[in-house]
Amino acid sequence: MRLGLKEKARAYSPWIFHAHAGGCNNCDIELAACFAPRFDLERMGIQLRNNPRHADIFLVTGPAPKQIAPILRRVYDQLPNPKVAIACGSCAITGGVYNRDDKKPNYAIGGPVEKLIPIDVLVPGCPPRPESIIQGIMLALEKLRHR
Amino acid sequence: MKYGVVKLTKELLRNAIHPVTVNYPAKKDLLGALTEIADESRGKHRFDEIKCVGCGACTIVCSSSAITESDSDLERTLSVEIGRCIFCGRCRDICPEKGLELTPEFEMSKKGQSANDCIKVEHSVPLGTCDKCGRTTFPIGQIEAVRKRVNEKIDPANLVIVNKDMEIFMRYCPDCRRSGSYAFKTHPRKSY
Ligand code: SF4
Ligand code: SF4
Ligand code: SF4
Strand partners, B141: none
Q: Between A91 and A111, whose confidence is greater?
A: A91
pLDDT tens for B113-169 read 888 888 899 999 999 888 888 888 888 888 889 889 888 988 888 888 888 888 888
CA-nearest residue to B67 within chain A is A100
As a whole-number percent, the residues of chain B with pLDDT over 70 amount to 90
Contact predicate A139/A18, CB 8 Å: no
Q: Give CA–CA dist B162/B153, Å, rounded.
A: 12
ipTM tops the 0.85 cut: no
Kindly state the average pLDDT of the residues A124-129: 90
Full strand arrangement of the beta sheet holding B120-129: B67-71, B75-81, B120-129, B136-139
Residue B41: how many other CB atoms lie within 10 Å: 14
The rounded distance, in Å, linking the Cα atoms of B62 and B89 is: 9
Q: How many CB atoms lie within 10 A of CB B145?
A: 18
Q: What is the pLDDT of residues B17-32, one digit of tens each?
A: 877 777 777 665 544 4
The pTM assigned to this predicted structure is 0.84
H helix runs in B41-185, sequence order = 57-61, 90-94, 140-153, 159-169, 174-180
Whole-number pLDDT of residue B31:
47
- A5-96+109-145: which CATH number, 3.40.50.1820, 3.40.50.300, 3.30.365.10, 3.40.50.12280? 3.40.50.12280
A147 or A60, greater pLDDT: A60
Cβ contacts (< 8 Å) between A117 and chain B: which residues? none
Rounded mean pLDDT, B91-110:
89
Contact B141, B125 (CB under 8 A): yes
Q: A37 touching B, CB under 8 A?
A: yes
What is the Å distance from ligand 1's center to B105 Cα?
A: 19
CATH number at residue B115: 3.30.70.3270
Number of domains into which chain B is organized: 1
* Nearest Cα residue to atom 8 of ligand 2: B58
Q: Which domain holds residue B88?
A: 45-126
Q: Answer yes or no: is B71 within a domain.
A: yes
Compute the distance between CA of residue B10 and CA of residue A23 in angstroms, rounded to an integer: 41
Is residue B89 within 6 Å of ligand 3 at its C-beta?
yes
Domain ranges of chain A: 5-96+109-145
